């Protein structure tokens, strides 16, 4: 697949800076790296969202008394640590 994109001066300047610093060899490589980084970022954000959803559900259960909590020191004592 071939794709031509006009990004404009500010983006072209940043792309050229990245190439000059040696982080990538070509403009295409810079764009590919940026897309892969963004895809990873989005996956990470989804994972964080799901973790927060789980934590919120657990906290709701704790606050309602549905789940009992134990203090760290109490647990250590109980386990003989």
DSSP string across 17-80: HHHHTTS-SSHHHHHHHHHHHHHHHHHHHHHHHHHHHHHHHHHHHHHHTSS----HHHHHHHHT
Q: Can you give the residue range of the structural domain that contains 25?
A: 9-79
Residue 1 lies in a domain: no
Residue 27 lies in a domain: yes
Residue 49 lies in a domain: yes
Residue 30 lies in a domain: yes
Q: What local confidence, expressed as pLDDT, does residue 5 receive?
A: 87
Residue 17 lies in a domain: yes
Residue 3 lies in a domain: no
Q: How many domains does the chain have?
A: 1
Task: Examine the pLDDT at 1 and tell me if it is beyond 90.
Answer: no
Residue 4 lies in a domain: no
Q: Give the mean pLDDT of 61-66.
A: 94
Paired tokens of 18: 């990245």
Least-confidence region, from 40-44, 48-52, 74-78: 74-78
């Amino acid at each position: 697949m071939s794709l031509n994109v006009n990004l404009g001066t500010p983006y072209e300047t940043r792309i050229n800076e990245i190439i000059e610093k040696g982080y990538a060899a070509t403009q295409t490589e810079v764009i590919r790296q940026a897309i892969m980084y963004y895809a990873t970022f989005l996956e990470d954000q989804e994972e964080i969202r799901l973790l927060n959803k789980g934590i919120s559900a657990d906290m709701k259960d704790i606050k309602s008394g549905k789940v009992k909590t134990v203090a760290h020191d109490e647990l250590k004592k109980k386990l003989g640590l």
